[in-house]
Structure 1
Amino acid sequence: MHGPASPGWLLVALCAATGAYCLLRMRSSVEEQRRAAGGEALMGFGMAAMAVPAAVFTPPSWAWPAYAVVFGAAALRALWAARASAHHLHHLVGASAMVYMAVVMATSPGHHGGAGIPALTGALLLYFTGYVLLSGLRLVPVAAGGGAVGWGDRPEVARACRLSMGIGMLGMLLTL
């Protein structure tokens, strides 16, 4: 994505840290938690890679189509998983947004962005703005339940990671 270098590096760090935490969540004893964490780790690391400031590193021409293929496969997986859980619809929207951004970057002259479809970019911005606001509300503390929960299974930390990725997605879409 193309914007100022400092915010770009902050976005890279945020998304990479979120991806790393999601990898750790894949060790959870809860099967649904492991499945969701894998998709979220892919999204976090993919967003980190796409957010590296262009002034520092310009990806080779094959990178953008590769991103589109990887996230297209993730979108298909999310579509399949959405049969069992509506949460995967968000993964579908997120992976589809990544495909969209990769296609825009692949087809823009000099890979400097700005060639997106304004209505689609606007719709994605509205969706992720709503998602971020709702995710923030879900972080409001609730009374602790019984029993100790491993730090990798703490729902509030998983919600904070999803919030971080939603904010990251907004940042990436704004630079498109």
Structure 2
Amino acid sequence: MHGPASLGWLLVALCAATGAYCLLRMRSVDEGQRRAAGGEAVMGFGMAAMAVPAGVFTPPGWAWPVYLAVFGVAAARSLWAVRGGAGGLLGHHAHHLVGALAMVYMAAATATAPAHVHTHGSSGVPLLTGVLLGYFAAYVLASGARLVPVRAAGAESGGGTGWSDRPELARACRLSMGIGMLAMLLNM
């Protein structure tokens, strides 16, 4: 990733922490939650790996085809889930599809860009980057609005849920990854 090293390291930390929490969410009793958390963990750790500042570590040439393959498989899996309707999570799977395709796009653009070019030339922002920036900006704003506290259904009974079944933490996790995507797209 191009840009200030401090931004890159903050993004690495945010994405790695999000991926780690998603691994914890994979312990949920709900199978749909486990599957979603697994896909989000892959995205979180993949984003962390891609966000390592270029001045600190330049990935070897074989890393970019690996990123393309991993995120391509994630996109195909999300496309399959969207195609099948997947139990009421259609919008969630569609978002995963957009995220995985955005990662494929960023990996391909980074792999094909000469090392000495820092994109921000006179031609402006490429159309696809602009569309993705708009999508993730809207997603972040909508996700942030959904984080507004509401009284939990079981709050008055004193019954708690485990770390893997906390919907507000899952929303915060998705919001963090949306912010990470925005930062990565802005630094392209």
Q: Quote the Cα distance in structure 1 between the aligned partners of 2:153 and 2:184.
A: 37
Q: CA contact under 8 A between 2:133 and 2:185: conserved in structure 1?
A: yes
1:75–1:95 CA contact under 8 A, matched in 2: yes
CA distance in 2: counterparts of 1:113 and 1:128, whole angstroms = 22
Please give the alpha-carbon distance, in whole angstroms, between the structure 2 residues aligned to 1:130 and 1:122. 12
Q: 1:103 to 1:31 in 2, by over 3 A?
A: same
- Does the CA contact (< 8 Å) of 1:64 and 1:102 recur in 2? yes
The yes-or-no answer on 1:139 pairing with 2:147 is yes
Superposed displacement of residue 114, structure 1: 2.1
2:98 and 2:116 map into 1 onto residues whose CA distance is: 23
Q: Could you list the per-position Cα deviations for residues 68-111 of structure 1 after superposition, in whole angstroms to 9, with x for gaps in the alignment?
A: 11100000000111221211000000000000000001100117
127, 135, 138: which one aligns with 1:119: 127
- Residue 104 (structure 1) aligned with residue 109 (structure 2): yes
Secondary structure in 1 aligned to 2:115? helix
Q: 1:164 to 1:99 in 2, by over 3 A?
A: same
In structure 1, stretches of 5+ residues that fail to align are: none
Instruction: Quote the Cα distance in structure 1 between the aligned partners of 2:125 and 2:61.
Output: 21
Map of 1:89 onto structure 2: 94
Q: CA RMSD in A?
A: 1.5
Which of the residues 157, 162, 165 maps onto 1:153?
165
**2:25–2:164 contact (8 Å) kept in structure 1:** yes
Aligned partners of 2:174, 2:117: CA distance in 1, in Å? 27
- 2 CA distance for matches of 1:101 and 1:111? 17
Identity %: 74
Number of corresponding residues = 176
Say yes or no: does 1:130 pair with 2:138. Answer: yes
What is the CA-CA distance between 1:117 and the residue it aligns to? 6.9
Q: Which has the larger radius of gyration?
A: 2
- Provide the secondary structure at the position in 2 that maps to 1:144: coil
Q: Matched residue of 1:55: which SS?
A: coil
What is the TM-score when the length of structure 2 is the normalising length?
0.90
Instruction: State the TM-score, normalizing by the size of structure 1.
Output: 0.96
Whole-angstrom distance in 2 between the partners of 1:117 and 1:46: 24
CA contact (8 A) 2:23 2:41 kept: yes
